[in-house]
């Protein structure tokens, strides 16, 4: 629906941007930190590893100064678990603890609210080696103990914690490591219980608010065929509601659970697990949004044939996005895409916000959204990125429309304040409003430059989202 007048952004709206430790800090073995599973993952040819990042570990003050110049009142970053507890589940590393005290204190000095992710893709490698990662229930206690250290240390000065970044993407895209579908849902269950227990501890130990941070998106049916509509509903359960119903309502989505049971792949639930899920009450739901999904129905036979062919061709994406007897992801020809093939769909953001608000009635926080593309540093030190400004503007308008629809939106924290290392596509897939001068293999001086979007976003924030002009 269209409105004659849009409601303004709330006065205390959080405006800032997001990052994650392993993608920006560098210093990957400094001050007692050990390797994480992200440090050891295979690196696609032609792209950098995460060892030096953009050296944010040493330059965080300069970076936060630039954020303050953009009028940020929020900065989302993650704490690296292997910095705080290098052995994964043993001794606390005082140098790691001290580092994040410094970052948090400096944010406050600059009037910026830290929004702290506890776990963003960087499980300590030692836990992977020792337990096979989340396949083993012992990871639950390891995570909860690590979180308790964070709540004890930072709980009096952090207002917002996020539990696990994109658990759904970790499970759906990296599930093969767990050996079988049942193994995948078992590992997922352990993460859900760990998250629930962490939320319970947070509420016991400090006044901070806490919520999950999955990647959530509206799912469109490929056509108006009834079976495609059903497929969209089903995929919504698998991709979105599996991670949000469990967090917000403390229960698994019913049809999905029945489908798992039908195939004998439901996770084994131990005493106390469902109680933990029920007792944990998120204060808000954070989510990352990059574009809507689109699916069609695929029968068991057809789906299995597609999977077999995909396997033979080593087409991992098709393999990951096909669920025989349920659905398969398809390209949406009506959705714009970036040069890297990521969807651009501001209306999809409004739809997602509406669906989440109407379903869960919890305050919402957008913890990622952004446009990763190549940028050019001109000879005069300028970076003209009208595409990023256009992207941000359209998504900010969608937020305002959703607020006018009635959604309780707490803030907008796009990806990212500065260029950092993409999960799989190197540093030259740039997301930042601050340009970092390094290439894939030439670190240069990593000098920071202000892109055009830096000035634009600063102006937008200063006007509390009113001034979106060039
Ligand atoms: C999100 C992740 O999935 O998307 C980030 O939480 C990631 O860690 C971001 O960087 C952008 O994706 P990519 O693959 O371009 O880095």
What is the structure's pLDDT at 298? 98
**Helix (H/G/I), strand (E/B), else coil: 215:** strand
Ligand 1 neighbour 438 (Cβ under 6 A):
no
* pLDDT cut 90: percent of the chain above it: 96
**Which contacts (CB < 8 Å, 24+ apart) does range 387-390 have?**
388/433, 388/451, 388/452, 388/453, 389/452, 389/453, 389/456, 389/470
CA–CA separation, 431 vs 76, rounded Å?
Answer: 15
pLDDT in tens, 426-446: 999 999 999 999 999 999 999
* pLDDT cut 70: percent of the chain above it: 100
C-beta of residue 107 within 8 angstroms of C-beta of residue 101:
no
Checking if the pLDDT of 314 tops 90, the result is no
Ligand 1 nearest atom to the CA of residue 290, by list position: 4
Considering the candidates 25, 74, 166, 201, report the single residue annotated as catalytic. 166
pLDDT in tens, 63-86: 999 999 999 999 999 999 999 999
Dist. CA 192 → ligand 1 center (Å): 21
CA–CA separation, 318 vs 320, rounded Å?
Answer: 5
Checking if the pLDDT of 300 tops 90, the result is yes
The overall pTM is greater than 0.95: yes
Ligand 1 pocket test, candidate residues 22, 49, 423, most atoms within 8 A of CB: 423
Checking if the pLDDT of 319 tops 90, the result is no
Helix ranges (H only) for 94-166 are 94-109, 125-131, 138-154
**Helix (H/G/I), strand (E/B), else coil: 322:** strand
Catalytic, 102? Answer: no
Ligand 1 neighbour 423 (Cβ under 6 A):
yes
Checking if the pLDDT of 316 tops 90, the result is no
pLDDT band at 414 (very low <50, low <70, confident <90, very high): very high
Dist. CA 289 → ligand 1 center (Å): 10
CB atoms within 10 A of CB 194: 25
Ligand 1 neighbour 288 (Cβ under 6 A):
yes
What is the structure's pLDDT at 422? 98
Dist. CA 262 → ligand 1 center (Å): 34
Ligand 1 nearest atom to the CA of residue 169, by list position: 3
Strand runs (DSSP E) across 231-380, as ranges?
285-288, 293-296, 322-323, 327-329, 336-337, 343-344, 364-368
Ligand 1 neighbour 416 (Cβ under 6 A):
no
What is the structure's pLDDT at 360? 98
CB atoms within 10 A of CB 411: 25
Ligand 1 pocket test, candidate residues 415, 421, 428, 432, most atoms within 8 A of CB: 415
pLDDT band at 176 (very low <50, low <70, confident <90, very high): confident
pLDDT in tens, 266-296: 999 999 999 999 999 999 999 999 999 999 9
pLDDT band at 30 (very low <50, low <70, confident <90, very high): very high
CA 171, chain centre distance (Å) = 13
User: Nearest to residue 143, comparing CAs of 203, 197, 214, 104?
Assistant: 197
Catalytic, 166? Answer: yes
């Amino acid at each position: 629906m269209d409105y004659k007048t849009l409601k303004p952004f709330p006065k205390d709206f959080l405006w800032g941007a997001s990052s994650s430790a392993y993608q920006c800090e560098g210093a990957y073995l400094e001050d007692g930190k050990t390797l994480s599973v992200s440090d050891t993952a295979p690196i696609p040819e032609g792209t950098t590893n995460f060892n030096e990042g953009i050296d944010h570990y040493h330059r965080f003050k300069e970076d936060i100064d630039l954020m303050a110049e953009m009028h940020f009142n929020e900065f989302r970053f993650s704490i690296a678990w292997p910095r705080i507890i290098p052995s994964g589940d043993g001794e606390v590393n005082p140098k790691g603890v001290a580092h994040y005290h410094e970052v948090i204190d400096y944010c406050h000095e600059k009037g910026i609210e830290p929004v702290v992710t506890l776990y963003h893709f960087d499980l300590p490698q030692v836990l992977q080696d020792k337990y096979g990662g989340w396949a083993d229930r012992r990871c639950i206690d390891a995570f909860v103990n690590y979180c308790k250290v964070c709540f004890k240390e930072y709980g009096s000065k952090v207002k917002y914690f996020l539990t696990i970044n994109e658990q759904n993407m970790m499970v759906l895209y990296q599930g093969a490591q767990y050996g079988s579908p049942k193994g995948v849902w078992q590992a997922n269950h352990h993460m859900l219980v760990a998250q629930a227990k962490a939320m319970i501890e947070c509420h016991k130990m400090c006044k901070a608010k806490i919520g999950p941070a999955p990647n959530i998106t509206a799912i469109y049916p490929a056509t108006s065929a009834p079976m495609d509509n059903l497929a969209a509903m089903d995929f919504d359960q698998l991709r979105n509601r599996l991670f949000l119903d469990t967090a917000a309502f403390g229960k698994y989505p019913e049809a999905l659970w029945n489908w798992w049971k039908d195939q004998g792949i439901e996770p084994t639930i131990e005493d106390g697990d469902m109680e933990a899920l029920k007792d944990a009450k998120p204060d808000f739901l954070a989510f990352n949004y990059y574009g809507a999904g689109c699916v069609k129905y695929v029968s068991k036979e057809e789906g299995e044939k597609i999977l077999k062919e995909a396997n033979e061709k080593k087409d991992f994406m098709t393999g990951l996005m096909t669920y025989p007897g349920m659905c398969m992801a398809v390209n949406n020809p009506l959705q714009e895409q970036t040069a890297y093939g990521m969807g651009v769909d501001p209306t999809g953001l409004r739809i997602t916000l509406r669906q989440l608000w109407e379903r869960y009635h919890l305050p919402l926080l957008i913890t990622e959204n952004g446009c990763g593309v190549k940028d050019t540093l001109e000879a005069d030190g300028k970076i003209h990125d009208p595409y990023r400004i256009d992207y941000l503007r359209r998504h900010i308008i969608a937020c305002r429309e959703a607020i006018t629809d009635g959604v309780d939106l707490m803030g907008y924290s796009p990806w990212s304040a500065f260029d950092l290392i993409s999960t799989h596509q190197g540093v030259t897939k740039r997301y930042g409003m601050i340009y970092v001068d390094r290439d894939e293999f030439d670190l240069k001086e990593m000098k920071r430059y202000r892109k055009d979007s830096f000035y634009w976003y600063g102006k937008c924030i200063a006007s509390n989202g009113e001034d979106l002009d060039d």
